[in-house]
Amino acid sequence: MRPWDSFQGTRIKVLRSFLRGAHLTRQEVARLIRQSLPAAASHIDALMEAGLLKLSGQRPSSGGRPADEYQINPPSLAAIGVELHPNYILSICCGINGDIWDSVRTDIDSSLVRDGAYTEAVIAKAINRLQQKWSQQLFIHGAGVAVPGIVDCENRLLVNAPNLFLKNYSFAGLAQKLLLPLYIDNEANAAAIGEYWTSSVPPSTSMVLISIREGVGAGILLAGQVVRGRRWRAGEFGHMAIRAGVRPCNCGRTGCWEQYVSERALIADLGEAAIARLKDHIDDGDASVSSVWARYIESLAIGIENIAACINPDLVVISGSIADLGDRLIQPLQSALAEVSFLTQGIQVSVSKHPNIASALGAGLMTFSGLLPGLGLKKPEMLNMYENRMTSTKNEGDSHVG
Ligand SMILES: [Zn+2]
């Protein structure tokens, strides 16, 4: 039996003590688990052998030889993240520090996605495949699934995904079938988590990530906490009307932002290879492309101005394949935003560091926030734990414990 085969029991308690960022000696672990020193040593040895712990230094003692100190070994801590898209499913295996160990993209039958049982089966298959492949080398802590729609995270219920034509589908059954803790969230929330977790922005940063895919969603992070709203609908900016009375939307309304700035809107104007056409022709004066592009930037700016009026964030991040355009997207967007500077002044706009995998990455990373009770997504604790302390070998006495 591998040391992590059970989420119950003393060994996982030992592991969780270390996951809270502690540097602990064998004596301290023995006190924490209320067992003998040899029992504590055997748990530590097993976790060391599994690659989950490593020596971090030595604790000076007033008499006798110094005691070895141990800490978590992040490279072995991993999770599976899945992003569901109407046409494909992207699954990744990632480390707690954001390293991506594996990624698999599989096309799915878009006409069947509206059948919840089919969708659940493809998600289960994607998770099982990566779990089987990696669980001998890595501690797969959990799996997260990002879906384009309104998600009741607590009950693992997909409330409504207009672009999947799927409503009120519970993934509670899937959670029971998988031998892993399962998390489900909106794809833009997941992308915001992935971006924030792996970025170097200060912890207090307020950020809105705009996920531009088939539809448009947004993840709102205020001081490290995802804002989901009373009924899980916060950040549904894709369905904010920017031009009344025109362009019907799958949500039943008209003039929704995503009808102007989603990938689907670009494909309607520029054909299936819309993003590739933009990459090739934005700068070369092709009138059919430049007129679409000018209107696109204008529509994108209107939405961001509205978001700025609601939230006034420090940072707006754009993800999705349009973000591959980099500065060729950001520069005209900043110019458009500067025209209404009283709303958007001082707001930094950038493209995602992971434009095409942010949702899957965030879905994987969100599983770790659940492992650490009470930690939520507070970046100071999370990143201090895995960045600063990993490189620190200095001894700080018992203040580590906890
Ligand atoms: Zn809509």
CATH of domain 200-351: 3.30.420.40
Residues with CB under 5 A from ligand 1 (ion): 239, 249, 251, 253, 256
Ligand 1 midpoint to CA 116 (Å):
22
Computed over every residue of the chain, the mean pLDDT equals 85
3-state SS, residue 220:
strand
Whole-model pTM: value is 0.80
pLDDT at residue number 9: 63
Predicted local distance difference test score (pLDDT) of residue 1: 34
Between CA 33 and CA 54 the distance in angstroms is: 19
Give pLDDT tens digits for 11-66: 777 877 787 678 999 999 999 889 999 999 998 998 888 778 899 999 887 778 89
In DSSP terms, which residues pair with 15 in a beta bridge?
A: none
Neighbours of 129 (CB within 10 A): 16
Instruction: Give yes or no on whether 9-72+382-400 and 200-351 have one common fold.
Output: no
Among 60-74, 175-189, 275-289, 367-381, which stretch is predicted with the lowest mean pLDDT?
367-381
pLDDT of residue 141: 82
Per-residue pLDDT, averaged over 263-277, amounts to: 94
**261 CA distance to ligand 1 centroid (A)?**
12
pLDDT of 379: 37
- Is residue 332 predicted with pLDDT exceeding 80? yes
Mean pLDDT of 117-130: 96
Q: How far is CA 15 from CA 52, 68, 143, 165, 383, in A?
A: 8, 17, 18, 42, 18
Going from the Cα of 258 to the center of ligand 1, the distance in angstroms, rounded, reads: 7
- How many angstroms is it from 254 CA to the middle of ligand 1? 6
C-alpha 111 – ligand 1 centre gap (Å): 20
Distance 105 CA to ligand 1 centre (A): 27
For the chain, domain boundaries: 9-72+382-400, 76-193+357-371, 200-351
How many Å lie between the centroid of ligand 1 and the Cα of residue 207? 23
pLDDT band (50, 70, 90) for residue 370: low
Instruction: Give the strand order in the sheet containing 139-147.
Output: 100-107, 88-95, 77-84, 139-147, 182-186
What residue type is 343 in one-letter code? L
Task: Tell me which of 3.30.420.40, 2.60.40.10, 3.20.20.80, 2.40.110.10 is the CATH number of domain 76-193+357-371.
Answer: 3.30.420.40
Inform me whether the pLDDT recorded for 192 exceeds 90: yes
Whether pLDDT at 371 is above 90: no
Residue pair 187/83 in contact (Cβ under 8 Å)? The answer is yes
The Cα-based distances of 241 to 32, 256, 267, 344, 391 in angstroms read: 55, 4, 20, 19, 49
- Amino acid 30 reads A
Quote the pLDDT of residue 375: 36
The class (CATH top level) of 9-72+382-400 is mainly alpha
